[in-house]
Amino acid sequence: MEVKVTSNDEFAARAADYAEAAINSQSVRNLCFPTGDTPQAMYRELVRRFERGELSFAQVHAFGLDEWGDLSADDPSRCIARLRHELYDLVDLPASQIHYLEPNHSNVAQMCRQYEDEIAACGGLTLSIVGIGLNGHVGFNEPGSQVTDGTRVVSLAARTKQVASKYNLGMIPDWGVTMGLATLLASQQVLILATGEHKASIVRELLQAEPSEQLPASWFLRHPQCVLLLDEAAASEL
């Protein structure tokens, strides 16, 4: 894992540079996109680059990282709704190339298997962009997740539910659906984003850890092409 620290002002542009490189890659252009507070400035920067004519999403396949359970299909707090609002609807990404997890599917286990099949059918993931939770989760791969886990239904950790109150969900779900650690680790490249002082201690723990189930993000320490991009506040305990 390569660690890069930027100023807060530069963070969005540096994160967008990684996304842009994957979007312009010569082979497949399949990206995994997260939601949460952390990636919002990067999405604004990607939209600006699209509006200036510097970037096109026409060849991109976009895969959502995770999704809350129990929210209605039209709930604006759903991850897919936020991704549409912050990025997908603002660029030239064809609707047929938007892939998302559907927790309300009548056979959710089958939906998860299909998601893996869709990723494989597109040629695998070029770049997975993920955040890190305060408990070290990636997507909804909570502590205790296995490195061999694929896309699946998961129970949310108490810490995750506590933090979820900041997203103004009408209710806090007990479960979610997430791309698995194995799915993400198979990505050609991984970009982990962390900003803010509140992420400083989990970032320090991560960089001192050995890969273990207790800290799901720690499996990315050994990924051959993983960048941990931090702003100065998230790097303040290093």
Q: What is the DSSP letter of 212?
A: B
DSSP helix/strand/coil, 209: coil
Active site residue 135: yes
Pick 45 or 66: Cβ nearer ligand GLP: 66
Does 112 participate in binding ligand GLP (rule CB under 6 A)?
no
Pick 34 or 103: Cβ nearer ligand GLP: 34
**Using CB under 6 A, which of 37, 89, 117, 197 touches ligand GLP?**
37
* C-alpha count within 13 angstroms, C-beta hemisphere, residue 59: 13
* C-alpha count within 13 angstroms, C-beta hemisphere, residue 63: 32
Does 103 participate in binding ligand GLP (rule CB under 6 A)?
no
Does 65 participate in binding ligand GLP (rule CB under 6 A)?
yes
Residues in the chain: 238
User: What is the rounded distance in angstroms from the CA atom of residue 63 to the CA atom of residue 75?
Assistant: 19
Task: Please state the closest distance from residue 23 (CB atom) to ligand GLP, in A.
Answer: 20
Q: With CB under 6 A as the contact rule, which of the stretches 35-43, 103-111, 182-190, 221-229 interacts with ligand GLP?
A: 35-43
**Using CB under 6 A, which of 69, 103, 131, 216 touches ligand GLP?**
131
DSSP string, 25-91: -SS--EEEE--SSTTHHHHHHHHHHHHTTS---TT-EEEE-EEESS--TT-TTSHHHHHHHHTGGGT
Does 69 participate in binding ligand GLP (rule CB under 6 A)?
no
Task: Please state the closest distance from residue 167 (CB atom) to ligand GLP, in A.
Answer: 7
Task: Please state the closest distance from residue 56 (CB atom) to ligand GLP, in A.
Answer: 26
Active site residue 142: yes
User: What is the rounded distance in angstroms from the CA atom of residue 49 to the CA atom of residue 62?
Assistant: 17
Does 36 participate in binding ligand GLP (rule CB under 6 A)?
yes
Single out the residue of 100, 157, 165 nearest to residue 133, CA to CA: 157
Are the C-beta atoms of 193 and 129 separated by less than 8 Å?
yes
Does 140 participate in binding ligand GLP (rule CB under 6 A)?
yes
Q: Which residues bind ligand GLP (CB under 6 A)?
A: 34-38, 65-66, 130-131, 133, 139-140, 160
Positions marked catalytic: 66, 135, 137, 142
